[in-house]
Structure 1
Amino acid sequence: MNKLKLIYVLIPALFLLACDDFLDETPDNRTELDSKIKIRKLLTSAYPSNTYTLLAELSSDNIVDLGEDNPYTVRMIEQVAYWQNDTESDIDGVKELWQSAYNAIAHANQALDAISKVTDEDVSAEKGEALITRAYNHFVLVNVFCKHYNQTSSSTDLGIPYIEAPETALSPVYQRGNVAEVYKKINADIEAALPLIKDDIYEVKPYHFNKKAAYAFAARFNLYYEKWSKAKEYANVVLGNNPASVLRDWVALGKIPRNSDAVSQAYIKNDANLLSITAYTSAGLLFGAGYYYGSRFNHTRFLSEKETLYAEMPWGNLNIWSYNYMAFSYKASNMDKTLVIKVPYLFEVTDPVSNIGYWRSVINPFTTDECLLVRAEAEIMLNEKAAAMDDLNTWTQAYFKQTSVSQVTTIADIAKFYDTANMPYSTNNAPNQKKKLNPKFSISAGEQESMIHYLLQCRRILTLHEGLRWFDIKRYGIEVPRYQDQGNGYLKVIDVLAVDDNRRAIQLPQDVISAGMEANPR
């Protein structure tokens, strides 16, 4: 396959990865990006090759530390799980995520530069893809490495450099700016991109920001941006007039034999996945059935019973799962995982003789199910409670088995279920699903707060092992205790991530800080 050969100077301060083939020709012998076909090929590299999934999931309240005697861990996992600076080189580490995102941004910017010079073809759709990928990669970076956006402090909270043009200077100096500025630029790129996205330029739509994937991203972005009406508007485009018809068929997936490979492959090939990205990651091992790798820090039976999969819902605590989950609890063998099978473990062989290569998986950043919960949250914040309840019931009826106990709930049911008299707020000694909420935006006590608790619980279950829980923790100011299993059923809190803890902004890679970038405060 012929590769496009370009000359452009990447960003040393941002520690970008360069593609070797891009640098092996002199400028006088390079292939020009002078057609939409060449630009499209370049844009395949505008998607990140690494993922935030493991960084975010390990930082969240979805894991428990099984103890120092458990040998199945690596230093990077330990550091991230306890919100320490990641000093290791790991495919799921901060350095790799930073490099991957900025490398993808560099490709998007190079494509945009080339698009501006094409005069004999319509490259508007290619421009739309370049803009939306640039926005998405910056969105990942700002939400991982910065404090979450809010209307009170984001104008002073440290942001990340927003790169909008190919690099032409050697060793440029970048300022981080602030979170509000980054969000403003992401919004501008999204708004410019949406009218340009065309599905017919893609051979396989889920591998690209097709129209529904782009609008799902726009919906989530505006939810995080506290633009509730726009979040709902964009989610409407994805969901159409009959949301139930576009959700994942959980019942059909549940009928697949309980084989982790078969189930995870069926999960990633489902039409409910709006965007699919193949990434270097060990997530398929940590959250894959029966693998010991990473088992020291995982989603355990304790969490499942107290807070997630087996936790009581408004209709009761029942075995009403349509989908396959798998529990592996062999504490004598250092294994305690309760998993929803969705993250496949793939191995890319680079040397068949030595059988060496890279761990990979397929990540689905946007799905119809999650988009429905984005809309439901926006509706709650807009005080459109009946509409939000309709969306929540649509999701629960699809996700859970229909039994003699109805999964249709009312606003009154939710308010009663989460009333403090029935369910007190979670504490370190008595954990449950109802966490104290400390968002920077206003939530009314009573029905609205109860519906947010229910919404967050539904999303936590739906996106288990995907990392999105971490961003809800940041948005809602949820305190996170890190439990360590001391044996004999006793769990000790080793550390607590407080509401305004600076560690909520994951520290930049050390190489980037050493190159002169301002570090996150600690």
Structure 2
Amino acid sequence: MKIAIKHSGRKLAVVVAALSIGFTMTGCEKYVDIKTQGQLTPGTIENYRYLLNNTTALEAAPTVSDMASDDLEIIDGSPQQISLASNDFNGYYRRAYQWADDIYPIDNQYHKDDNWGALYNAIAYANTVISEVPNVSDGTPAEISQLVAEAKIHRASAYLMLANTYAKPYQQASANTDLGVPLVLQPTTEQSLDRGTLQQVYDAILADIESALPALPVQQQFTTLPSKASAYGLLARTYLYMNRYADAAKAAEQALALNDKLNDLTKLTAATMASYPLRVSNPEILLSKIPVNGITAYTTTALRLSKDLLGLFDATDQRYNLFTVPGSTISSWEVYDGRYFYLDYIKNEGRNVGPSVPEMLLIKAEAAARDNQPAAAMALVNRLRASRILPGSTVNLSATDADDALVKVMQERRREFMFRMLRWWDMRRLKDDTRFQKTYTRTFGGSTFTLAPNSNRYVFRIAQYEINLSPEIAQNP
């Protein structure tokens, strides 16, 4: 495949970088080779099915969110901390944990942001399908509409993740002036990458989801392929982070009407975890997305549960029993203590951070609590806990009022979504709410780092490498 590029100085931008990444990936080889090897007929719909089946590109999600969240704690002076302090390859992990000004400094040999590149790479794939599929030489109108719809869901998901990583939390009062992220909605290298506004990004996300819904299938063969439930789940997540709670609850209910399956963790033990479903066939997952750097249970970059997070679990919670392990499982180092997230390592595959059935239940629960319906909120929480907490222990929770219900919903979100990207997103949207407002501190290498509610560090800065490619991209403060 040839990509024609007219160098306009400052407008090659992210798309070129994303394309250069994407078309060297193994998963794209079939598409690249079809015009030279003749294995497929050029210009046919099957080509684009191959593109959309490239999960390496389209499942991409940020990983730095988990390093910055209060789910994680690195013990100062431990072998892990000492290794990270001198490990340039994993410097992003250390700097995200420190809420550093620059996670990918330009003077470092590892100065490219894999999160940014992978998400725009997914957008490049989606744009190709959206633009070219209507002109294929075969395919029924329904087939064409479905492929375009799938691509729009992947694009909307990528933009939601970009906005919640590199832009401010959504506030209706300021969204028309807050910086968004570059909107690239055509497969072109000939556009400016001015960031525009956050409202424009969310408008594009909603437009993609709403226009895709009619053409999406009800059933999905694999969780990597968008369905109607995927779209409603993504819509519910989008509305939640826009603080549109009633709309979020409605979309969550529409997703649950199509898929409300939960894995019963109470029937499993550590010895029987081999029967836990693989991500692509996990009935709880509405749309699979995984962090770009994959599995986390390696010694240097293992995810150690913070004391705060550990305090929310007890020995009757199967999420603790099945998805976390003691440090001795991670490493034989003498001071490698604590408890570590292990779910993705058990199956040797990345952890899902995409929309899921549990997320839909907890979105509905949060909306009910905010609507002064504490009993309804707790009923939804308890519906989830029935498949998570061992019988004979405290399965059902109650709330004294709506505020108490909201606190308990947020605690359940932490337990359910530990190291699943959403905790950082929740910290961002709750930082100005006095019920949850907190100044965070952590120590690394003898230095103390602080994250105050008004800190600019709730928004990751864009890698200088990307700005050097496209100087029109405005940097975050």
For structure 2, list consecutive stretches of 5 or more residues without a partner in the other structure.
432-436
Distance 2:255 2:111 in 1: 32
Matched, 1:227 2:244: yes
Are 2:62 and 2:115, in contact at CA under 8 Å, matched by a contact in 1? no
Aligned to 2:434: none
How far did 1:151 drift?
1.2
1:484 counterpart letter in structure 2: T
Which shifted more, 5-14 or 391-400? 5-14
Greater fraction strand = 1
Q: How does 1:418-433 map to 2 (within 5 A)?
A: none
Match of 2:133 among 111, 115, 120: 115
Q: SS of the counterpart of 2:448?
A: strand
Cα distance change on mapping 1:386 and 1:304 into 2, 3 Å: closer
Shift of 1:55: 0.5
Match of 1:205 in 2: 222
Q: Which residue of 2 aligns with 1:426?
A: none
Please state how far the C-alpha of 1:485 moved relative to its aligned partner.
8.0
Whether the 8 Å contact between 2:105 and 2:463 is mirrored in structure 1 is no
Are residue 44 (structure 1) and residue 56 (structure 2) matched?
Answer: no
Structure 2 CA distance for aligned equivalents of residues 510 and 34 of structure 1: 38
Quote the offset at 1:116 in angstroms: 3.0
Residue of structure 1 in register with 2:19 after alignment: 17
Q: Distance in 2 between matches of 1:381 and 1:65?
A: 34
Q: 1:346 to 1:498 in 2, by over 3 A?
A: same
CA distance in 1, matches of 2:356, 2:399: 26
Q: Distance in 2 between matches of 1:132 and 1:50?
A: 11
- Residues 33, 7 of structure 1: alpha-carbon distance in 2 compared, 3 angstrom cutoff: farther
Residue in 1 that maps onto 2:285: 273
The equivalent residue for 1:483 is 442
Which segment is superposed worse, 158-167 or 364-373?
364-373
Q: Distance in 2 between matches of 1:382 and 1:209?
A: 31
Match of 2:265 in 1: 250
Structure 1: runs of 5 or more not aligned: 311-317, 348-359, 413-446, 487-491
- Corresponding residue to 1:176 among 195, 198, 207: 195
2:158 and 2:259 mapped to 1: Cα distance?
Answer: 31
The AA in structure 1 aligned to 2:427 is I
Decide whether the 8 Å contact of 1:304 with 1:338 is kept in 2: no
Aligned partner of 1:441 in structure 2 is none
State the secondary structure of the residue aligned to 1:206. Answer: coil
1:155 aligns with 2:176: yes
Kindly state the Cα deviation for residue 455 of structure 1 after the two structures are TM-superposed. Answer: 0.9
1:369 corresponds to which letter in structure 2? Answer: P
- What SS does structure 2 have at the residue aligned with 1:335? coil
Does the CA-based 8 Å contact 2:223-2:286 persist in structure 1?
yes
Question: Any idea what SS the aligned residue of 2:118 has?
Answer: helix
Higher percent of residues as helix:
2
Q: Which residue pairs with 1:327 in the alignment? A: 326
State yes or no: 1:80 paired with 2:113: no
CA contact (8 A) 2:61 2:115 kept: yes
Number of residues paired by the alignment? 441
Distance, in Å, in 2 between the alignment partners of 1:341 and 1:25 is 39
Distance 1:499 1:266 in 2: 38
Preserved CA contact (<8 Å) 1:272 1:369: yes
| 2:410 is equivalent to residue 456 of structure 1 | yes
What are the superposed Cα offsets for residues 268-319 of structure 1, whole Å, 9 maximum, x if unpaired?
753212223466425x2x3x3xx42225x6224x33444x324xxxxxxx64
How far, CA to CA, are the matches of 2:371 and 2:70 in structure 1? 28
Match of 1:166, SS? coil
Q: Counterparts of 1:389 and 1:150 in 2: how far apart (Å)?
A: 27
**Matched ranges for 1:234-313 at <5 A:** 234-240=251-257, 243=260, 246-252=261-267, 254-257=268-271, 262=274, 269-277=281-289, 280-282=292-294, 284=295, 286=296, 288=297, 291-295=298-302, 298-300=304-306, 302-306=307-311, 308-310=312-314
Over the aligned positions, Cα root-mean-square deviation in angstroms equals 3.5
